[in-house]
Structure 1
């Protein structure tokens, strides 16, 4: 796998990305764009085995840092803005179309808003011909609600309303920890070394105002009637991104679709435990749906006999 740093503009800001390709390339290569998961970065070690699997199979991968994260520009550092992240992905697809070495384009992402964002991308951009969404969030409000007990959720909503009132009077939002006061970490996440390489690079103080767009985050609605070929990868009894969110996205789609359910594991452990099983299925999905259209189309109809 070869790795090169590339960049493109999304709005006024540079989005920086890793361009990963097979060791040997012969002609235009099908390309897969990936936006990181919740508070993720393009070069997270957890992604390496997936990128290696894709490039070994002959695909190129464009793994991006969203604006405000990692090496990308953007004044709102560390803030998950679903609208901007979707724009970054759409502009990334446009960037791929400017390259002579790129053929058909697909999208892959994993983890919460990462998995949800590629569903939104598929619903927005017809240039994306196949998508794989791994452990996605389908409904932001439900996701944030289910991390909390009912009395915690009531108190949290009151805190959000108080912050809105303060913002209109002062222009300032309360600063909170994104892993504990926006998302709530599971015990597995606290005890795991998963993405520790990324955590040290992420801002751990963000305005509470970041929550409001997440309350309106609806990849599940975007999936209704979706005809772009869609594979959804889920973990049974997932405590981080609810399994039924992934199932709802799968069931809502109307085109070719596949649901891969990983059992007897957990959200973070599944990446390593089932990689050797799941990655070949992902590769097969992209091979089926990212084949380049031929230059000659033949249609043959047998005349009916009267």
Structure 2
């Protein structure tokens, strides 16, 4: 019988919480470690992807980053690239201790901001079986240039104030995750709010905001460069109409990856989480896994 259970593991001094999906297979299955994008939580459609992977015969460990969702961490809504990469390392380590799965074949799956994280995490670990990066954030410069100029100024202003306040222990100054053009938010493309917020389940206490200081680190972050260091099979799923993580730099990075397979979709950044686009991308990902990390005969 297929099942999902709640799990915990430690990352630094805090606890990360997530879900473990186990397939109904006679032999230990490869395990996919999964996490979301910018400020998002696992309830925002990661269960839909994990269920498809489980039905295809793969185990899945889905988790929330520290400071978000069900995981610990104070202050809340603190988005630290360094901390999130440490969470990936902790999740990978935990996956390798789970009874009943093939701990020698750990796969990384990330989407959006998490799609960049899996590139960096996979290169840093050096021993994962495969990496899947979906509509990935690969270039901080490109994503910053995609932001409305007025929003950029507002985000940087608040980021400086937040960083200064953090030195003396003040509560974070926040910016929105998504907003209208001109608002102080990290994603202000016309399809951002209408694509991102509907992914939140009805009644979930979601917070559309993060500590603004991350606005100073995003422009300098270029996880796409890690593709050149990955030696395991990599699948990069690019949305050609992506208004948040522009396709052009991602395609350029993917073509430099020695083990990278690039698949392109005529979709926007948020389209592949739902509907026909979701069905296509998850089917392509399962097909990729069938080839590069096949199940036991």
- Scaled by the length of structure 1, what TM-score is found? 0.84
CA distance in structure 2 between the partners assigned to 1:84 and 1:135 by the alignment: 22
Structure 2 alignment gaps of length 5 or more = none
Q: Which of 235, 238, 243 does residue 239 from structure 2 map onto?
A: 235
Residue 107 of structure 2 aligns to a residue whose secondary structure is: strand
Give the counterpart of 1:273 among 241, 266, 276: 276
- Whether the 8 Å CA contact 2:151–2:188 is kept in 1: the answer is no
Match of 1:129 in 2: 129
How far apart are residue 127 of structure 1 and its match?
2.5
Aligned residue number for residue 163 of structure 1: 161
Shift of 1:109: 1.3
**In structure 1, C-alpha distance between the alignment counterparts of 2:167 and 2:97, rounded to whole Å:** 46
Contact 2:31–2:101 (8 Å) recurs in 1: yes
Q: 1:188 to 1:253 in 2, by over 3 A?
A: same
The 1:152/1:254 distance shift into structure 2, 3 A limit, reads same
Q: How does 1:51-130 map to 2 (within 5 A)?
A: 51-103=50-102, 104-111=105-112, 113-130=113-130
Quickly say closer, same or farther: Cα 1:106–1:169, change in 2 above 3 A.
closer
Partner in structure 2 of residue 35 of structure 1: 35
RMSD (Å) for aligned C-alpha atoms? 2.6
Alignment pair present for 1:247 and 2:246: no
SS at 2:228's partner residue? coil
CA distance in 1, matches of 2:42, 2:264: 25
CA distance in 2, matches of 1:162, 1:4: 41
Q: How many residues align?
A: 287
TM-score, normalised with respect to structure 2 = 0.86
Shift of 1:157: 7.8
* Distance 1:73-1:176 versus aligned 2 partners, 3 A rule: same
Residues of 1 paired with 2:242 and 2:192: CA distance? 12
- The CA distance in 2 between the partners of 1:161 and 1:21, in whole Å, is 41
Q: Give deviations 1:22-57, integer Å, cap 9, x for gaps.
A: 2x231211000001111111222x223321221111
